Chain A
Amino acid sequence: MGRTLPSATQIMLKEEAALVRFRRALRRGDQLVFDDLFTAAQKHISATAYAAHALPFETFLMAMLLEEHKEVMRLCKILETLQEMHA
Chain B
Amino acid sequence: MDRQIVSFPIPKTGKISLVVAPRAVVESLMTMLAALALRGPVIVVDGGNCFDGYGLARAIRRRTHEVQATLEQVQLSRAFTCYQMVAMLAELPIDGTPVIVLDMLATFLDENVQFAKRQRLLDNSLHLLRQISQGAPVAIWSRSRSSPTGEDQQLLTPLLENAHDIWELETPAIPVHQLPLF
Assembly CA distance A4 to B44 (angstroms) = 14
A54 & B57 in contact (Cβ 8 Å cutoff): yes
Assembly CA distance A3 to B57 (angstroms) = 18
Query: What's the dominant secondary structure at chain B's contact region?
Result: helix
Assembly CA distance A1 to B61 (angstroms) = 29
**B residues less than 8 Å from A55 (CB atoms):** 54, 57-58, 61, 67
Identify which of residues 50-70 in chain B touch chain A, using a CB-to-CB cut-off of 8 Å.
Answer: 51, 53-54, 57-58, 61, 67-68
B80 & A54 in contact (Cβ 8 Å cutoff): no
User: Interface size bucket, B side?
Assistant: 10 to 19
B49 & A1 in contact (Cβ 8 Å cutoff): yes
Assembly CA distance A5 to B51 (angstroms) = 8
Assembly CA distance A19 to B61 (angstroms) = 19
Contact of A54 (CB < 8 Å), options: B49, B51, B68, B78: B68
The count of chain A contact residues (Cβ–Cβ below 8 Å) is 9
Assembly CA distance A2 to B51 (angstroms) = 13
A4 & B54 in contact (Cβ 8 Å cutoff): no
CB distance from B59 to the nearest CB of A (A): 11
Assembly CA distance A53 to B51 (angstroms) = 16
**A residues less than 8 Å from B57 (CB atoms):** 54-55
Assembly CA distance A33 to B111 (angstroms) = 52
Identify which of residues 98-121 in chain B touch chain A, using a CB-to-CB cut-off of 8 Å.
Answer: none
B residues contacting A by CB (< 8 A) are 49, 51, 53-54, 57-58, 61, 67-68, 71, 78, 80
